Amino acid sequence: MRIGVISDIHANLEALDAVLAHLDRERPDLLVCLGDFVGYGPDPTACVERLRPRLAAAVLGNHDAAATGARPIDDFNPMAQEAIVWTQGALSDAVRDYLRALPEREEREGLLLVHGSPRQPVEEYLLDARRARASFAAGGFRVAMVGHTHQPAVFEEAGSRVATRGLLPEVPFPLRSASRYIVNVGSVGQPRDGDPRAACVIVDTHARTATLYRVAYPIEVTQTKMEAAGLPAALIERLALGR
């Protein structure tokens, strides 16, 4: 079984379409989404409508919760707040209802699916092995798939050690049966690891691998739409930097 995993689309339709075209060529058996469909980008309703019929499972992201009013936004930075307020006005009723009904965690083919971390599924940022250790200790999974930081990585628990591993594009990462893993699939619509290309991962449960892919998309098209929508300049600029 091959499972396509995407996260953090953030209303970037051009990045989403590029990733979906890539996945059409790779033909995974299932596609799942780890949340943050919306927030930051100019096409929240179109992105959800495009993805929804293709998804076997999806979970709630913090920006999804904020966009439906289910979560306060006072702890977001000013740019993110501005984008969320804009997004709230741009969502169709049907898309708002869909986002509001997303679960905080799902499981497919033995993979735990959450936005942030296994321990705190919607909000926690797993930026280092120390944080990841607490989620391994909380238990309940062998392989968890996460997004939220917009930085692809793997945390591996082998015995009592937890280490951070790099995920290189197109290089299958081995998921050894003696270890447990938290795999961060990066972001489709706003990468922050210095590579502006959209990210996605395919997990092969038979070969026991996770493979990262990076897909170029026409960033200027998204940026032009963001300018027209009056979204914050720094959010527009960061797309080209991958930061």
Residues of this chain that interact with Zn ion (CB under 5 A) are: 8, 36
DSSP 54: G
- How far is Cα 205 from Cα 41, in angstroms, rounded to an integer? 33
CB of 221 to Zn ion, least distance (A): 21
- How far is Cα 79 from Cα 73, in angstroms, rounded to an integer? 11
CB of 220 to Zn ion, least distance (A): 22
- How far is Cα 24 from Cα 5, in angstroms, rounded to an integer? 13
- How far is Cα 63 from Cα 69, in angstroms, rounded to an integer? 10
Of 36 and 106, CB closest to Zn ion: 36
CB of 177 to Zn ion, least distance (A): 31
Of 8 and 106, CB closest to Zn ion: 8
CB of 63 to Zn ion, least distance (A): 6
- How far is Cα 119 from Cα 134, in angstroms, rounded to an integer? 7
Taking CA atoms, 90 is separated from 99, 155, 158, in Å, by 13, 36, 45
CB of 174 to Zn ion, least distance (A): 27
Q: How many CA atoms lie within 13 A of 85 on its CB side?
A: 11
Residue 135, SS3?
helix
CB of 159 to Zn ion, least distance (A): 32
Of 132 and 162, CB closest to Zn ion: 132
Of 55 and 204, CB closest to Zn ion: 55
Q: Which residue is nearest to Zn ion (CB)?
A: 36
Q: How many helices (H) and strands (E) does the chain have?
A: 8, 12
